[in-house]
Amino acid sequence: MKFQFLGTAAGEQYPGMWCRCDNCTRARKIGGRNIRKNSCAFISPNILLDMPPEAFMQAERFGVDLTGLEYLLVTHSHDDHFNLFPFGWRYLDSRISLPPPANAIGARFTPLKTLHVAGNHLVCRLLDDLLIKKAKFSYEECAMEVHLVEPFKKCVLGGMEILPLRANHLENNAEKDALNYVVFLNGRTILYALDTGWFLPETYEAIKQFRYDLVVLEGTFGYGAESETHFNCRKLEKAVQLFKDDGLMKENSNFCVSHVCPHFFPIHDDIAPALAQKGIVLACDGMSLEI
Ligand SMILES: [Zn+2]
Ligand SMILES: [Zn+2]
Ligand SMILES: [Zn+2]
What's the pLDDT tens digit per position in 118-175? 999 999 999 999 999 999 999 999 999 999 999 999 999 999 999 999 999 986 676 7
Q: What is the pLDDT of residue 172?
A: 62
Q: What is the DSSP letter of 132?
A: I
Contact criterion met (CB below 8 Å) for 55 and 83 = yes
Instruction: Quickly count: other Cβ atoms within 10 Å of residue 290's Cβ.
Output: 7
Give the Å distance between the CA of 207 and the centre of ligand 1: 21
Amino acid identity at 93? D
Domain boundary assignment for the chain = 2-290
Give the Å distance between the CA of 23 and the centre of ligand 3: 6
Average pLDDT (257-276) is 97
Give the Å distance between the CA of 248 and the centre of ligand 3: 35
Tell me whether residue 34 is exposed, middle or buried, using C-beta atoms within 10 angstroms of its C-beta: 0 to 12, 13 to 18, 19 or more: buried
Give the Å distance between the CA of 192 and the centre of ligand 1: 13
Decide if pLDDT at 113 tops 90.
yes
Can you tell me the distance from the alpha carbon of 194 to that of 69, in angstroms, rounded to the nearest whole number? 21
Amino acid identity at 264? F
Contact criterion met (CB below 8 Å) for 261 and 221 = yes
278 Cβ neighbours under 8 A, 6+ residues apart: 237, 240
Give the Å distance between the CA of 235 and the centre of ligand 1: 17
Amino acid identity at 184? F
Write the pLDDT tens digit of every residue in 218-260: 999 999 999 999 999 999 999 999 999 999 999 999 999 999 9
Domain 2-290 in this protein, CATH class: alpha beta
Average pLDDT, rounded, for the chain? 96
Region of 94 on the Ramachandran plot (φ > 0 left; ψ -120 to 50 alpha; else beta): alpha
Can you tell me the distance from the alpha carbon of 249 to that of 242, in angstroms, rounded to the nearest whole number? 10
- Among 161, 163, 224, 232, CA closest to 196: 232
Write the pLDDT tens digit of every residue in 45-87: 999 999 999 999 999 999 999 999 999 999 999 999 999 999 9
